[in-house]
Structure 1
Amino acid sequence: MKTQTIIVTGASTGIGKAIAGLFLKYGYNVVINAANENNLQAAFEELGHHDRLAQVAGDISNTNTGEALVNMAITRFGAVNVLINNAGIFEPKPFLDVNEAYLDKFLNVNLKGTFFTSQAAIRQMLKQGEGSIINIGTVLVDHAIGGFPATAPISSKGGIHALTRQLATEFGKNNIRVNGIAPGIIRSPLQAKIGINNADSLAGLHLVDRIGEKNDVAELALYLAGSNFITGEIINLDGGHVAGHHIS
């Protein structure tokens, strides 16, 4: 079986780097991306397997970045079998404090980045006759938390959920599967960026009474990439966050 090639956006740290590492472990060719060139180079060195690893630095909100990722995958490895749209930004801000420029920041990186990178990948997947796209959303689209105002990023992530189902419908007959992963609280550098110093303090939001780990997301992405019969699904990876609550 020919070695599969995967593109992972936002792969210099956190969930994206964990995904890239797991796919490398299982023999995939991997193209990684991040906006920060220094962080991307550090991840490239750490991940190793340089015979099967390539990198493209660039802001995913720029449509040229998605095209460059696809071109790198084709030039270096000859195909684009899987795209994981992981790159994104997230932070809370009260709704009445959100201005147009602030909202546009999330729409551009999260939704526009996912939209146009998928477009570049699907053009190639149509030529190949198959492909898989996995988008990273959030359980907060369907299960908001009082006291955590984040309308701007959640609006952009809601767009990603809708885009996932629409693309699955539009390209299912072309053997292109499109799914989403909606994580709960996952241990990553994101928590520190939004002022959460102890991520484990949020464990009670999940029925399993723990937060998720980066590899939990990576393992689900690996499964979805290999499945040829799952499409149009948004899978909650949330320790039961959406399913129910503990009485505190």
Structure 2
Amino acid sequence: MTFENTKLVVIGGSSGMGYAIADRVSSEGGSVVIVGRNAAKLEEARGNLAKHGNPVAALVADLNDFDAVAHLREQLTTEHSDATLLVNAAGVFVPKPFIEHTEADYNSYLDLNRSTFFITQTVVANMIAAGQGGSIVNIGSMWAQQAIAATPSSAYSMAKAGLHSFTQHLAMELAGEKIRVNAIAPAVVRTPIYEGFIPKEEVQEAVSGFDSFHPIGRVGTSEEIAAIAAFLLSDNTGWVTGAVWDADGGVMAGRN
């Protein structure tokens, strides 16, 4: 599998699964554009990716700031219209009982979907104008398909279910343009996202507590999700579109 002569845009590419996907594609010859909201973290990620010797660009944008998203869309058109690969990996996850959700909580998830929608629209328009086709991978969630009592996540799951549906609708609409659209639905993956609601020094132990939740006996890694994403982005899955791939250690297959 090689990504030579391709350019990948990763929304949410400064850490976690997004960074791992950018790293995988860069290591296999692709140029990458990573987008994140924290300039310092983004620059650190850019420097680490540069070790592969392939072009790396870093764009700062807070996806909850629609003015920033508008500027990002302009940059993607003027500077990176040659991208034929896109990964939407930005996310936030803070479990909270439904009855306690505030409008700000709700907006943090659904505003992210809005930005994902229009950023994808911009990249797709570039792909169509170039006429070379393309591939898109959205990072969804097992929580969009199954409620878990220990992690009440109504707004988050509502947003991710929308992303799954978005994936299927785009796959239908864009098939004629030779643009494939798929999603990955992970269960618990060891990423920094849990630091949003668990003290950093406790994250390792807390995440490991979910090992037995997965029939395979452990949580996943960002690198494992990256391997799946790279497969879906590549020509090896040229006949796959509109799929939501379970990457969950067997959770959706049954119960442990």
TM-score interval for Structure 1 and Structure 2 normalised by the shorter chain: over 0.9
Q: How does 1:1-248 map to 2 (within 5 A)?
A: 3-48=5-50, 49=52, 51-61=54-64, 62=66, 63-64=69-70, 65-74=72-81, 79-109=82-112, 111-129=113-131, 130-195=133-198, 197=203, 198=205, 199-226=207-234, 227-246=237-256
Q: 2:250 & 2:171 partners in 1: Cα distance?
A: 25
Equivalent pair of 1:18/1:218 in contact (CA under 8 Å): yes
So what's the TM-score if we normalise by structure 1? 0.92
Secondary structure in 1 matching 2:255? coil
Q: 1:222 to 1:70 in 2, by over 3 A?
A: farther
Which stretch of structure 1 is more off in the superposition, 206-215 or 196-205?
A: 196-205
Give the whole-Å Cα distance in 2 for the aligned partners of 1:3 and 1:40: 23
Q: How many residues align?
A: 241
- Distance in 2 (CA, whole Å) between partners of 1:194 and 1:237 is 23
- Aligned-pair distance for 1:100? 2.1
Q: Deviations over 1:129-185 (max 9, x none)?
A: 201111011011111111311111111111111111111111111111110011111
CA shift for structure 1 position 89: 1.0
Shift in Å, 1:117: 1.1
Structure 1 consecutive aligned stretches of length 4 or more whose deviation exceeds 3 Å: none
Inter-partner Cα distance in structure 1 for 2:165 and 2:126 = 22
Aligned-partner residue type, residue 230 of structure 1:
V
Question: Could you report, residue by residue, the CA deviation over 1:170-211 in whole angstroms, capped at 9, with x for unpaired residues?
Answer: 111111111001111111112232226321110112110011
Provide the rounded CA distance (Å) in 1 between the counterparts of 2:193 and 2:4. Answer: 36
Shift of 1:229: 1.0
**How far, CA to CA, are the matches of 1:175 and 1:157 in structure 2?**
25
CA distance in structure 2 between the aligned counterparts of 1:10 and 1:66, rounded to whole angstroms: 15
Q: Report the Cα distance in structure 1 between the residues aligned to 2:177 and 2:194, rounded to whole angstroms.
A: 39
Answer with 50-59 or 142-151: which moved more.
50-59
Deviation at 1:35? 0.5
Amino acid at match of 1:137: G
Paired residues of 1:114 and 1:135 also in contact (CA < 8 A): no
Contact 1:83/1:134 (CA < 8 Å) preserved in 2?
yes
Q: Which amino acid aligns with 1:222?
A: A
- Aligned residues with identical type, % of pairs: 32
Equivalent residues of 1:207, 1:239 under 8 A apart: yes
- C-alpha displacement at 1:94, in angstroms? 0.9
What secondary structure is seen at the aligned counterpart in 1 of 2:251? coil
SS state of the match for residue 230, structure 2?
Answer: helix
Supply the distance in 1 between the matched residues of 2:75 and 2:89 (Cα, whole angstroms).
Answer: 16
Asked if structure 1 preserves the Cα contact closer than 8 Å seen for 2:188 and 2:220, the reply is yes
Q: Is the 8 A contact 1:31 1:69 kept in 2?
A: no
Shift of 1:70: 4.3
In the alignment, structure 1 segments of 5+ residues that lack a partner are: none
- Does the C-alpha gap of structure 1 residues 184 and 144 become closer, same or farther in structure 2, counting only changes over 3 Å? same
One-letter code of the match for 1:231? T
